[in-house]
Every structure is written in C-alpha cells, then in structure tokens.
Amino acid sequence: MAIVVRLDELLHARRMTLTELAARVDITLANLSILKTGKAKAIRFSTLEAICAALDCQPGDLLAFDPALAAED
C-alpha cells in the first residue's frame, strides 16, 4: 500500500507509548497496532481526529503517500 503511517515517529517525538495513546484515544491496543504497522485497510475520521488531538498533529503528519510503493501495487 502506498499510504505510510508515521505513528511511530510521532509517538517517539511526543515521548508517548502506544499503550498511553490507546488509553487517551479509547481504542484497543490491537487496533492501534494494526494501524501503526500499516496493515489497516481503513480508519474512521473520528479515530483520526482523536489521534491527531492526542498527538497535537495534523492528519498529514500521521499519513503520507509514497509513490514508490504505489508502483508495487
């Protein structure tokens, strides 16, 4: 998939664990882990909004498009 999730980088920059983010966003650790690893097929806007609020970021900080990966699909 050509969409890259930069959750690890944001968590590291905010000195926050995945477990802490899961608690703040009220999402299961398993679902957040699926998103973090790029295995998620979709994300609800409400979840995206909650993650952005918790990490004080914009959706574009969290998600990126990599054209090199698009060619592989």
Residue 73's pLDDT band, with cuts at 50, 70 and 90, is low
Mean of per-residue pLDDT scores for the chain: 93
What are the structure tokens assigned to 22, written together?
A: 């899961």
Angstrom distance (rounded) from CA 67 to CA 45: 23
- Chain segment 62-71, per-residue pLDDT in tens: 999 988 887 7
> For residue 68, what pLDDT is reported?
87
Query: How distant, in Å, are the alpha carbons of 26, 58, 72, 73 from that of 9?
Result: 20, 14, 24, 25
- AA identity, residue 20: E
Q: Do the beta carbons of residue 59 and residue 52 sit within 8 Å?
A: yes
- pTM for the whole structure: 0.88
Q: Could you tell me the residue ranges of all domains in the chain?
A: 3-72
Angstrom distance (rounded) from CA 10 to CA 21: 11
**Domain 3-72 is of which CATH architecture?**
Orthogonal Bundle (1.10)
